[in-house]
Amino acid sequence: MTEHQARKLASLTTPVLLIALLTAFVLLIGAFGDRSLGRMAAETLIRVTLVVGFWIFAGNSGVISFGHAAFACVGAYVSAWATLKPAMKSLLLPGLPDWVAQAEWHVLPAAVVAGVVAALVALLAGAAILRLSGIAASIASFAFLAMVNTIWSNWTPVTGGTSSVVGLARYVTPWVGLGWAAFAILVAAIYGASASGLALRATREDEVAASASGIDRYRHRLAAFTVSAFFCGVGGALMGHFIGVINPDGFYLSLTFLMLAMLVVGGIGSLSGAVVGVLVVSIAVEGLVRLEKGVTLGATQFALPAGSQEILIGLAMILVLIFRPAGLLAGRDLILPAAWVAGRAKTPK
């Protein structure tokens, strides 16, 4: 086996290592954590699905999208329309078509359909947004986010408007979250190693050279945009069924900021950076929330002012951008050593 083949084989271990890391995280929380930490673990794994979906586009294309929270919004509401009891829908969402109002699906097909609908929305929106490039595309994606939030906040008979939609089945456990996170990681790794993923990263590194080589930047960006929207839609559905309540503002600026913070902290240049960023930021947020509630040290009780977590996470982002602009993993993936992989791959004589 050549050194190049060994390195290529070693790169395939990245999704395995990331899934093993998340599995160890769930097992540790289950063994030593309380109920609150169990909820944190489930929420963290939902965020992994969202951020890995976000990374499929932003990480491979180099274009920062501010609109992916909109796909989570679409997914959350599609799942609610499909799974809520008909009596609840007639009360909260009287404007739904009859065939939707009478539907009562199982949560798994509802999550898949939520992702598919979000992907179709992305295909239509991306057809216009991705004709732009650089900061213009980012601004257009933010306009798309604002548009979806405005529609959902005012389409009261169908979405409930600014009122919360309640009564969603709360079925998301750490293991359910782990299953979807693992699937998102596998798809992201497969796409990254595909011809489309490699071509898209080529446009990220040198757009002029990629264009001169015959790479259709628009087509590959649109494909990545659509795939990434699927997982953001699924992540939105999982969020709704984790909390049991959805509201358009829950899928707006705060979620957009959180997803960007996780990518920046971990490093947008690699799949491992996306996953590690979610873990680091989620654990930090949980610690800060507990500090806001107050901790007792001996005879002294210490508590951070309310809202400190957003300020401190913002400061952490600034520090990372100053001292580690490429993120904690600096664009590198977690892989097994190529020499070890080559040794294991050798057949006995």
Residue ranges per structural domain of the chain: 8-248
Tens digit of pLDDT for each residue in 14-64? 899 999 999 999 999 999 878 889 999 999 999 999 999 999 999 999 999
Q: What is the average pLDDT score of the chain?
A: 88
Tens digit of pLDDT for each residue in 275-300? 999 999 999 888 888 887 777 766 67
Residue-wise over 295-333: b if at least 16 C-beta within 10 A, else e?
eeeeeeeeebeeeebeebbeebbeebeeeeebbbbeeeb
Q: Is residue 54 helix, strand or coil?
A: helix
Closest by Cα among 193, 310, 233 to 53:
233
Residues in the chain: 349
- Contact (CB, 8 A) for 280 and 266: yes
Conformation bin of residue 294: beta by default, left when phi > 0, alpha when psi is -120 to 50:
left
Is residue 347's pLDDT more than 60? no
Name the band, by pLDDT with cuts 50, 70 and 90, for residue 306: confident
Between residues 86 and 337, the one the model is more confident about: 86
Closest by Cα among 110, 82, 109, 108 to 97:
82
Tens digit of pLDDT for each residue in 314-336? 888 888 888 888 888 888 887 76
Extended strands (E) in the chain: 165-166, 245-246, 295-297, 300-302
| Whole-number Å distance between alpha carbons of 40 and 30 | 11
Give, as one character, the DSSP assignment of residue 36.
H
Structural tokens at position 204 = 């990220």
Tens digit of pLDDT for each residue in 110-138? 999 999 999 999 999 999 999 998 899 99
Contacts of 53 (CB under 8 A, 6+ apart): 68, 184, 188, 227, 228, 229, 230, 231, 232, 234, 235
- Contact (CB, 8 A) for 152 and 248: yes
Q: Is residue 246 helix, strand or coil?
A: strand
| Whole-number Å distance between alpha carbons of 304 and 287 | 11
Distance, C-alpha 4 to centroid of its chain: 32
Is residue 84's pLDDT more than 90? yes
Name the band, by pLDDT with cuts 50, 70 and 90, for residue 180: very high
